[in-house]
Amino acid sequence: MFNFAEFLDLPLIWYGLIATAIFLYVLLDGFDLGVGILFPFAPTDSCRDRMMNSVAPFWDGNETWLVLGGGGLFAAFPLAYAIIMPALYMPVILMLLGLIFRGVAFEFRFKATGRSRRFWDYSFHFGSLVAAFTQGMILGAFVRGIKVQGRSYAGGAFDWLNAYSVMVGMALVFGYALLGATWLLMKTDGITHIWARKCAKYVLGYVAIFIGIVSISMPAMNAGVKALWFSTPNIFYLLPIPVFTAVMFVMNWRNLHKGREYSPFFLSIGIFLAGYLGLGISLFPWLVPFAVSFRQAAAAPESQSLLLVGTAVLLPVILGYVAYCYYVFRGKTSDETLY
C-alpha cells in the first residue's frame, strides 16, 4: 500500500483539484448552458440551429466535469459528499432532471419536425435554465451554511430555499448567459453574431449588478468572512481581486463595443475566475460551510494517494485531448443554411 501522506499535503491537494474540476465545469458547461438559456430569444430558427451546432460536439464532454466534480468529491471527501447531497436533495434532483431534458434535446431536436421540434427547443431551453438556476441555488444555500450533526445532515428538507439562494440562482443564470453569448460571438457570424453581441452587452450589465450584490452580502451575512476581507493587512493582499474583477468588466465592455470576437469570451472567463477566487477565499477551509473543513472530510490517505497517481497522469492527457477536440471543431458555424 502506497501512501503519499508523509511528504504531500493530500487533503489540500485534493481540495485544490476538486475546486479546479468544479471551476472547469462551471466554465465549460456554463457556456453551453448559457447557449440554452439564450436559445428561444434568437431571431430565427436557423440561428437556433447554428447555436445548437456550435455546442453539440462538446456538451457531453463538458458535462463530464460535473461527474468528475461529484465523483471526485465522493472519492476524496466522502463525508462532505454524504452531507451535501442529502442537504441539497431537491435542488440536486431538479438539476439532474433539467440536465436530462436539455441533454436529450441535442439528439432529439434534429430528428423531430414541426411542432415536436418546437417542443425540444423548449426542452433544451428550460432544461438549461433549470439546471443553471438550481446550480446557483445550490451555491446560495451552500454559502449560507449547512446544519450538521455528527456525520450527517441535520437540517430540514427546505433549508436550501430562501430569498438569497433564489437571488444567487438568478445571478448564475445571467453569468452562464454571458458565457453563452460571448461563446456565440466566437462561433457564429451574420445575424446570430449581431444578436449575440447585443445580448452580451445587456447580460454583462446584469452580471455586474449581481456580482456586486453577492460581494456585499457575503461579508454582511457572515462575520468570519467580514473579518477575513476587511481587516488589515488582509485587505491589501485581497484588494487585487475586486480590482481585477472591475478591470475585467471594463475591458469586456469596451471590447464588446469595439466589435472584438474572441476576447469577450476570455474576459468573461476572467470575471468567473475572479468571482470563484473570491468565494473560495471566503469559504476556505470549509468544505461543508461552516461545519466540516476539508481536512475533517478527507478520505483515508491511501484512497487519496491512489487516485492522485491516476489524476497526475491522466488529467494532463485529458486536457490534451479535450483541447484537440476543440481544435478539430474550430472556426465559425457556417453562414449558409444547409437545410
Partner 1 sequence: MISTFDPVLLARIQFAFTISFHIIFPAFTIGLASWLAVLEWRWLRTHNKVYEDIYRMWVKIFAVTFGMGVVSGVVMSFQFGTNWSVFADRAGNVLGPLLGYEVLTAFFLEASFLGVMLFGWNRVGRKMHFAATLIVAVGTLVSAFWILSANSWMQTPQGFRVGDNGLLYPTNWIKVIFNPSFPYRFFHMVIASYLTTAFVVGGIAAYYLRCNRHIKQARVMLGMAMIMAIFVTPIQVVLGDMHGLNTLKHQPAKISAIEGIWNTERGAALRLFGWPDQAEEKTKYAIEIPKLSSLILTHSLNGEVKGLKEWPRDDRPPAVWVFWSFRIMVGLGILMLFTGVSAVILFFRKQLFNKPWFQRWCMAMTPVGFAAVLVGWAVTEIGRQPYVVYGVVRTAKAASPVMGSQLALSLCAFIVTYVFIFGAGSYYIIRLIGKGPGDSEKTNSIDDLKTPPFFRNPASEEGGEHV
Range 306-325, binding partner 1 (CB under 8 A): 306-307, 310-311, 314-315, 318, 321-322, 324-325
Q: What DSSP character marks residue 148?
A: E
Site for partner 1 contains 303 (CB under 8 A): yes
Site for partner 1 contains 254 (CB under 8 A): no
Site for partner 1 in 203-232 (CB under 8 A): none
CA distance 209 to 225: 20
- Report the residue number, 243 or 313, with the smaller CB distance to partner 1: 313
CA distance 77 to 15: 9
- Report the residue number, 74 or 253, with the smaller CB distance to partner 1: 74
Counted residue by residue, the chain has a size of 339
Q: Which of 281, 276, 314 is nearest to 64 (CA)?
A: 314
Which element (helix H / strand E) includes 149? strand 148-149
Site for partner 1 contains 329 (CB under 8 A): yes
- Report the residue number, 100 or 227, with the smaller CB distance to partner 1: 100
Site for partner 1 contains 280 (CB under 8 A): no
Q: Which of 71, 145, 242, 280 binds partner 1 (CB under 8 A)?
A: 71
State in Å, rounded, how far the first CA of the chain is from the last one: 59
Which element (helix H / strand E) includes 152? strand 152-153
3-class SS string, 265-314: HHHHHHHHHHHHHHHHHHHCCEEECCCEEHHHHCCCHHHHHHHHHHHHHH
Q: Which of 92, 162, 104, 172 is nearest to 132 (CA)?
A: 172
Site for partner 1 contains 16 (CB under 8 A): no
Site for partner 1 contains 15 (CB under 8 A): no
CA distance 160 to 139: 9
CB of 271 to partner 1, least distance (A): 26
CB of 104 to partner 1, least distance (A): 6
- Report the residue number, 50 or 260, with the smaller CB distance to partner 1: 50
CB of 282 to partner 1, least distance (A): 24
CB of 200 to partner 1, least distance (A): 21
Q: How many residues bind partner 1 (CB under 8 A)?
A: 76
Peptide linkage before 285 cis (omega within 30 of 0)? yes
Place of cell 475566475: 273
Site string for partner 1, 145-174 (x = CB under 8 A): ------xxxx--x-----------------
Q: Which of 66, 173, 248, 279 binds partner 1 (CB under 8 A)?
A: 66
